[in-house]
């Protein structure tokens, strides 16, 4: 039987050919081996190609999260990538700084400044004047320290500054000084008005040309610093030339007449300042409850802090008078100055 016929006849025919002609069968079997090898090689190539195309995520591999636009930072953590934004990095840095910082108690600033004695030197320990009980002797400023304490000239940001009078400070870019010039400010040889004028001018020294200010001296009616009359008065910039004009205006102010607080305060609020320094020596007339309410309503639209400086003869009595209430209700501080201890006029 031929080899081709044997292959077609099946296994029995193949065995007969193998038995009858072993050499012929071996030759045929040898020629079949390359076909098997080709088939095996083809299957192997297909498997390798599939292995390159299909990537199986290894067990425990980190899945990359969706990321929004912007800069995304990558950090290796335990051999795995971790993605976080700049905001996340800033948050984590702030949290780390907070944890590293030592604990410190928060100290609340009082609404009312302590009573101060302008002209006296530091008292001896245990010999505190009335009106300042609870303070240590080391906390009481002498006259020179007090007259300088209102002018720290501390820049808060490029557009704001901190300044003050008689130890009461305010922060902002727009300041209005509302000072009493009624006849009573001429008492004690004119020392109250002289001290008030000196503090005001020195407070202006803290301001720069990017800041604005206005000065209102009042008795029965307001008198406003306005070098550009007949133009309407407005906030002035704190450049050197304007501050020089302001100092000249202040130097010419004299004390006389009665006292009307409300009109002066309403004029100040109409200028939309950040800070108002309100100084008066008047126990009477006081602002009424309705007038205080009106100021509070007007200031709700402005948002100014109203600081009050009270001039009085003798120690502070500690009463919750209209000046304390005015400061408390309008985000400011109150200070008391005993005019009997003001330094002599120079």
pLDDT tens per residue, range 106-162: 333 344 444 444 343 333 333 333 332 222 223 334 334 444 444 445 555 778 999
Reported as a single tens digit per residue, the pLDDT across 209-243 is 999 999 999 999 999 999 999 999 999 999 999 99
* pLDDT, position 158: 77
CA distance 323 to 303: 18
Looking at 1.10.760.10, 3.20.190.10, 3.40.50.410, 3.40.50.300, the CATH number of the domain 114-341 comes to 3.40.50.410
* pLDDT, position 283: 76
| Mutual angle of helices 187-204 and 240-251, in 10-degree steps | 170
- Tokens at residue 185, please? 């400010």
CA distance 17 to 25: 7
Q: Which residues of the chain fall short of a pLDDT of 70? A: 1-38, 49-156
Tell me 313's DSSP state: S
| Mutual angle of helices 289-302 and 322-329, in 10-degree steps | 20
Put residue 40 in one of left, alpha, beta given phi > 0 → left and psi -120 to 50 → alpha. Answer: alpha
Question: Residue 194 belongs to what H/E stretch?
Answer: helix 187-204
Q: Which of 255, 170, 182 is nearest to 207 (CA)?
A: 170
* pLDDT, position 115: 46
Domain ranges within the chain, ordered by starting residue: 3-51, 114-341
* pLDDT, position 52: 60
* pLDDT, position 157: 72
Q: Is 191 exposed, middle or buried (0-12, 13-18, 19+ CB in 10 A)?
A: buried
CA distance 96 to 102: 12
**Pairing state between β 236-237 and 212-218:** antiparallel
Q: Taking the chain, what is the end-to-end CA distance rounded to the nearest angstrom?
A: 145
CA distance 67 to 90: 17
What predicted TM-score, i.e. pTM, was given to this entire model? 0.58
Paired strand residues for 155: 161
């Amino acid at each position: 039987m031929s080899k081709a016929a044997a292959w077609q006849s099946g296994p029995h025919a193949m065995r007969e050919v193998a038995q009858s002609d072993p050499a012929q069968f071996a030759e045929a079997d040898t020629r079949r081996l390359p076909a098997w090898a080709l088939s095996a090689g083809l299957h192997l190539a297909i498997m390798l190609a599939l292995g390159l195309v299909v990537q199986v995520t290894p067990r425990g591999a980190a899945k990359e999260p969706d990321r929004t636009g912007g800069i995304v930072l990558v950090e290796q953590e335990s051999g795995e990538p971790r993605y976080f934004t700049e905001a996340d990095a800033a948050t984590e840095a702030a949290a780390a700084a907070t944890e590293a910082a030592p604990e410190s108690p928060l100290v609340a600033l009082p609404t009312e400044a302590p009573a101060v004695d302008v002209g006296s030197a530091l008292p001896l320990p245990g010999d505190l004047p009335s009106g300042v009980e609870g303070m240590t002797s080391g906390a009481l400023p002498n006259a020179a320290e007090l007259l300088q304490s209102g002018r720290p000239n501390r820049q808060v940001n490029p557009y704001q500054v901190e300044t003050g009078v008689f130890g009461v400070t305010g922060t902002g870019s727009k300041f209005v000084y509302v000072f009493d010039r009624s006849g009573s400010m001429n008492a004690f040889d004119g020392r109250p008005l002289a001290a008030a004028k000196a503090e005001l001018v020195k407070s202006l020294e803290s301001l720069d040309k990017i800041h604005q200010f206005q000065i209102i001296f009042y008795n029965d009616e307001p008198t406003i610093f306005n070098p550009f009359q007949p133009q309407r008065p407005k906030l002035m910039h704190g450049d050197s030339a304007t501050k020089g004009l302001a100092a000249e205006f202040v130097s010419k102010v004299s004390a006389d007449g009665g006292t009307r607080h409300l009109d002066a305060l309403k004029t100040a609020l109409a200028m939309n300042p950040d800070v108002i320094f309100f100084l008066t020596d008047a126990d009477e007339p006081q602002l009424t409850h309705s007038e205080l309410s009106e100021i509070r309503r007007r200031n709700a639209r402005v948002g100014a802090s109203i600081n009050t400086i009270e001039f009085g003869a003798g120690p502070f009595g500690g009463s919750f008078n209209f000046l304390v209430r005015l400061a408390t209700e309008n985000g400011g501080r109150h200070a008391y100055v005993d005019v009997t201890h003001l330094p002599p006029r120079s």
